[in-house]
Amino acid sequence: MTKDAILASIRRGLRRGPLPADQRAMLDGRLATHPRHLIPARSRVPRPEQVALFIHNVEKEFGTVDRVTDAADIPAAVAEYLASQNLPPRVVMAPHPELQALPWAGKPLLDVEARRAEATDAVSVQHGYAAIAETGTLMLPSDPARPTTLNVLAETEIVVLRTSRIHGAYEEAWDTLRRERTDPITGGFMPRNVMLVTGPSRSADIEQTLELGAHGPRRLHIILLDDDPAALPGA
């Protein structure tokens, strides 16, 4: 079998046979404990500074951020953003309970459909699972309530994120996913797809000069809900 031939060739190069049981156990232990390596100091700061770092990095990467203190204000924030960008008041939204519970009825002119995205959708509203301050990165794991197409098909993506879900480093966000999620197929934690998104889509393939809006969203707008008293400015 090809698999055996490849493994045999690797072992020939390593000048050994299959690993003995004790060494396998050691490597299994490393997988189970998944030790962290160096975590850069830049994100190891108090909560308000972590949130500020996140916002700074999103903006550095051409994303935009709006901050609201009451979840009830989110539909208005979405409507205002669309108006400010001259976009039609129509969005495809993740069928996530937190988003569906928002008072959309208060914005009757805003057409909201909860489903996966199609090619004709101009604006998507996604549920932000977590974020990483270190580089201004969103963590968007796939889920029936968080379809992947919302991240890639629309020209404009709006992500609703709670400040309590902003982590310092990637490793902390991975641990949150490990703790919170159980996969229906594997029993592990990884969903089919995890996207780490840092800013809107871009390409520098033409003369190594940056242009925004390649194949994915041209605009990435984050509505940040302040749900973490410890993360408020001056806290």
Partner 1 sequence: MVEITSPAFKENAARALSDPGLQKALGKAKGAFLQRRAEAVSRLPEFEQLRDIGRDIKNHTIANLDFYLETFAANVERAGGTVHWCSTAEDARAAVLEICRNAGAKTVTKGKSMISEEIAVNDHLEKHGITPVETDLGEYIIQLRREHPSHIIAPAFHLNREDWEADFRRMHTDLDPNRVFNERRDILAEARTKLRSRFLAADVGITGANFLIAETGSSVIVTNEGNGDLTQTLPRVHIALASIEKVVPTLEDATSLLRLLARSATGQDFSVYTTFSTGARRPADLDGPEEYHVVLIDNGRSNMIGSDFQEMLRCIRCAACMNHCPVYGVTGGHAYGWVYPGPMGSVLTPSLVGIDKTALLPNASTFCGKCESVCPVKIPLPGLMRHWREREFERHLTPRAVRRNLGLWAWFAKRPGLYRAVTRTAMAALSWLSRGKGAFTSLPLAGGWTAGRDLPAPEPGGTFMARYAKMQRGR
Asked if 111 is part of the footprint of partner 1 (rule: CB under 8 A), the reply reads: no
Judged by CB, which is closer to partner 1: 36, or 88?
36
Strands 64-68, 111-114: parallel, antiparallel or unpaired by DSSP? Answer: unpaired
CA-to-CA separations, 64 to 58, 144, 152, 174, 200, in angstroms, rounded:
7, 27, 17, 24, 10
The region of 48-56, 77-85, 102-110, 201-209 touching partner 1 under the rule CB under 8 A is: 201-209
For residue 111, the minimal CB distance to partner 1 (Å) is 19
Asked if 190 is part of the footprint of partner 1 (rule: CB under 8 A), the reply reads: yes
Judged by CB under 8 A, which of 49, 152, 181, 226 binds partner 1? 152
CA-to-CA separations, 202 to 182, 184, 193, in angstroms, rounded:
33, 34, 21
Q: 132: which 2 tokens?
A: 């990483």
Judged by CB, which is closer to partner 1: 107, or 116?
116
Q: Which helix (H) or strand (E) holds 156?
A: strand 156-162
| Closest alpha carbon to 188 in 198, 197, 177 | 177
Q: Across the chain, which distance is largest between two alpha carbons, in Å?
A: 71
Of residues 210-229, which lie at the interface with partner 1 (CB under 8 A)? 211, 213-217
Asked if 156 is part of the footprint of partner 1 (rule: CB under 8 A), the reply reads: no
Count of residues in contact with partner 1, rule CB under 8 A: 82
Of residues 36-75, which lie at the interface with partner 1 (CB under 8 A)? 36-38, 40-42, 57, 61
Judged by CB, which is closer to partner 1: 88, or 144?
144
